[in-house]
Amino acid sequence: MKITVTESMFREQFKRIRPENFSNAALESLFAYYEEMEQGSGEEMELDVVAICCDWTEYDSALEAAESYGFKSKDAGDDERADMNERAALEFLTDETTVLEFGEGNGVVVLNY
């Protein structure tokens, strides 16, 4: 027996099982990603909160995520250079794995590789 999971149900399950793993903005991006995957493949997916938590990591910025994978940024002395570093970090990550951007800042969820 299967049920259709809404975004609020998706969020609820994470808050119940792994409440500290993802922000609400990250969960919104993850839900959209999995919903799109399911629609694209035509196959129903099972919601496995623990597996998703193991597969993805949330970061405050692409630069933070990329540096955790060995990306070296340039000295960010001004806003323009910081923006260049963020864009370069995002490009580095998207060349390696799946990256979901979210929120009004530079937050990302990265598929661990």
Q: What are the CA-CA distances from residue 23 to residues 2, 14, 16 (Å)? A: 26, 10, 13
Quote the pLDDT of residue 18.
97
Nearest of 52, 55, 61 to residue 93 by alpha carbon: 61
User: What are the φ and ψ backbone dihedral angles of 102, each rounded to 5 degrees?
Assistant: -155, 165
The pTM assigned to this predicted structure is: 0.88
In whole angstroms, give the CA distance from residue 62 to residue 42.
31
For the chain, the structural domain boundaries read: 7-111
C-alpha–C-alpha distance, residues 107 and 103, integer Å: 6
The ranges of the chain with pLDDT < 50 are none
